[in-house]
Structure 1
Amino acid sequence: MKPVLLDCTLRDGGNQNDWQFTPTDVRTIVSTLDAARVDVIEVGYRGGSGSANSATAGPTAHCTPEFLAALPPTRHAELAVMVVPTVCPVGAMDDLPDSPVSLVRIAAYPWNIDGVPEYVRAARSLGLRTTVNLMAVSYAGLPELAGIAETVRSELPDVMYVADSFGSLTPDGVRERIELLAGRLDCPIGIHAHNNLGLAAANALAAMDAGAGWLDASLCAMARGAGNLATEQAAAFLTAWPAYETHTDLPAVCEAAEYVAEQVLPRPMTVRRAEIAAGINDHHYYYQDRLEKAAARYGLDPWEVGRRIGAARPRKVLDEVLENVCREMSGGLPA
């Protein structure tokens, strides 16, 4: 088996540094990963992130035509951008055929997947390849996932991804979701694993065992919260494990990771209480700091508040959701 390795440092890693990658950062990361023969390099969002609205976001949060035109040429890697339909109009892709980008990743949640086929159709009409990235897949049970597969099949992308956005899935949960999609969709399946429970690598391996052929990763695991599967670790186990084939140059990938660790990351990625709590309670990491403060105001156990938040499966990180949960748990008033 020869998995496709996709690096998303410049896109998902922006959650750590507000997408403030310098031109040198972008040039070094893209050029080094290309020299390492990483298959796909995702260079950012077109039109912004759907979950982190920042007025100060740097260039990889929007991937303007000028930014894309300035990217270094690649000899091996395909370049990709992510589009979130809830914040990016379909017409915003129209100039991409004039850029180095050839792959558009269309990201949606289980509750707004219906809008995705229009974007797949539009991207295909522009001569672009597509992936559909189903975010928060832990919020989709198997019956719902079967319905999502039917929606996606109406305008089949080149690759169908599941994203464990909250880092809450275990290998068994990953395996059953990948098997369902692989059995219903006639296209490759991919996995985007977060590491809140320390299971990103184990979940990636379970996904491949169940039929996934595309792996997302980021250098030094750089991403929101506990981060992703690390690109250098993915390259390492693909190199070491006889069951897999890879043309990726592991020392060159490690060179890129060293650059990110020393020059880009504002702090080392960690898996501590906050990251684990978000994962075990199955909610967006961006809730965690607010959640702990709200729990303290109401004199509540933050772990129990987190469990209630996750059980509610909120569609957005909203303070009113926290307040409603805390009021219900405390009987109405702060402590």
Structure 2
Amino acid sequence: MSKITINDVTLRDGMHAISHQYSQEQIAELTKVLDESGVDIIEATHGDGLGGSSLQYGFSKESEETIIRTAVENSKHAKVGVLLIPGIGIIDDLKRAHDLGASVVRVATHCTEADVSMQHIQAGVKLGMDTVGFLMMSHRTTPENLVEEAKKMESYGAKTIYVVDSAGALTMDDARARVSMFKEKLSPETEIGFHAHNNLSLGIANSIVAIEEGATRIDASLAGMGAGAGNAALEQLIAVMNRLELDHNVDLYKVMDAADYLMKPMMKRPVQIDRLSLMLGYSGVYSSFLLFAERAGQEYGVDARDILMRIAEMGAIGGQEDWIIGVAQQLAAEAK
């Protein structure tokens, strides 16, 4: 079995869990410890990627330039990556990230909208970046449809394609079906990745299933830092991979210590499976909606779980956080 590449998302998806408020000092400290631990790629942008610091998605404490530059300056071995969601970030943002030293770009779209990624993937390839297709909310379509979208990204030049469980809604059978379909239908030269969320407590299990089916890039974060109930926790993932004798570059003790002594004290809200994060996985709602729904529920005096269920019924996808306020207002009016 191939050596597994670990893509750490503490400094990107982990931004969601603290409303994008990492300081420059925290970014530097986290980058250093992740780099020393042996992770292969450190992703560092606003939680919603390049261009994400905005009124709609929440302003980050530090500028995009500061986030990327600080990560690059403090990483001696790991590559620094960025996320780009077309419509939030643009190609000029990607060019600036590249100029700052980012060498990996993951171009992310909703699972049925890969066609909007063509120009951005091609731009990443032209810049000489490790260019990755990232199919979010992969539970929202069938494995057969998902692989057709993956083929589009492959045709645009992406050398790695990810099954992305943005809502933490995939069961192990769901994850297996999607990754195995990628393995069967995509080019043998195309690498397969998997990004888990832990809303149904399956982040580690699904990541291991993905590896069993041929995925060689796996996402994780210190202490599971991330949207919703968080991502697959890096220290837990590495412990399980060690038990299974899977090949990787990460030092277990170093990530254990970093999770307990560095990451957890930074958390403003525990990254855990509670009633709201569980509801994300149950309803299949995008994990970054959690804090928005929680705040709207408090403001309008409605149960945030009802907001999430209504949002799910409406078919909301990533980037439609602005629906939450309207839904909360509607539920409050219906309760009168």
TM-score over 0.5 for the alignment?
yes
* Distance of aligned partners of 1:272 and 1:333 in 2 relative to their CA distance in 1, 3 Å threshold: closer
Bigger shift: residues 22-31 or 301-310: 301-310
Specify the code of the residue in structure 1 equivalent to 2:117.
Answer: V
Q: 1:53 aligns with which of 48, 51, 56?
A: 56
TM-score by length of 2: 0.86
Separation in 1, partners of 2:117, 2:54: 17
Q: 1:265 aligns with which of 267, 274, 299?
A: 267
Counterpart position of 1:36: 37
Counterpart position of 2:232: 229
Higher Cα radius of gyration: 1
Alignment of 1:184-203 (within 5 A): 184-186=185-187, 187-203=190-206
Q: 1:240 aligns with which of 227, 240, 243?
A: 243
Q: Which consecutive unaligned segments of at least 5 residues does structure 2 have? A: none
Counterpart position of 2:294: 289
Deviation at 1:261, TM superposition (A): 3.4
Specify the code of the residue in structure 2 equivalent to 1:68.
Answer: I
Separation in 1, partners of 2:136, 2:279: 19
Over residues 41-77 of structure 1, what are the superposed CA-to-partner deviations in whole Å (9 max), with x where a residue is unaligned? 1122453339983453222xx531x543344343321
Bigger shift: residues 84-93 or 221-230: 84-93
Specify the code of the residue in structure 2 equivalent to 1:24.
Answer: E
Contact 1:314 1:321 in 2 (8 A): no
Alignment of 1:1-335 (within 5 A): 1=1, 2-45=3-46, 47-49=50-52, 53-59=56-62, 63-64=64-65, 66-71=66-71, 72-186=73-187, 187-242=190-245, 244-285=246-287, 286=289, 288-289=293-294, 306-307=308-309, 309-315=311-317, 316-317=320-321, 318-319=323-324, 322=327, 333-335=334-336
Contact 1:47 1:92 in 2 (8 A): yes
Q: Which consecutive unaligned segments of at least 5 residues does structure 1 have? A: none
Deviation at 1:308, TM superposition (A): 5.3
Over residues 17-55 of structure 1, what are the superposed CA-to-partner deviations in whole Å (9 max), with x where a residue is unaligned? 122222221121111111111111112245333998345
User: Partner of 1:115: helix, strand, or coil?
Assistant: helix
Deviation at 1:132, TM superposition (A): 1.2
* Distance of aligned partners of 1:262 and 1:208 in 2 relative to their CA distance in 1, 3 Å threshold: closer
* Distance of aligned partners of 1:27 and 1:211 in 2 relative to their CA distance in 1, 3 Å threshold: same
Separation in 1, partners of 2:305, 2:260: 35
Over residues 61-117 of structure 1, what are the superposed CA-to-partner deviations in whole Å (9 max), with x where a residue is unaligned? x531x5433443433211111111111111222233432211011111124321112
TM-score by length of 1: 0.86
Contact 2:31 2:42 in 1 (8 A): yes
Separation in 1, partners of 2:33, 2:252: 11
Could you say what the CA RMSD is over the residues aligned between the two structures, in angstroms? 2.8
Specify the code of the residue in structure 2 equivalent to 1:322.
Answer: V
Over residues 296-325 of structure 1, what are the superposed CA-to-partner deviations in whole Å (9 max), with x where a residue is unaligned? 76xxx9767755542442232314773798
Over residues 170-189 of structure 1, what are the superposed CA-to-partner deviations in whole Å (9 max), with x where a residue is unaligned? 00001111111222222111
User: Partner of 2:44: helix, strand, or coil?
Assistant: strand
Deviation at 1:259, TM superposition (A): 3.6
User: Partner of 1:10: helix, strand, or coil?
Assistant: coil
Contact 1:43 1:81 in 2 (8 A): yes
Bigger shift: residues 303-312 or 188-197: 303-312
Percent identity, aligned pairs only? 27
Contact 2:203 2:231 in 1 (8 A): yes
Separation in 2, partners of 1:200, 1:275: 13
Alignment: residue pair count:
324
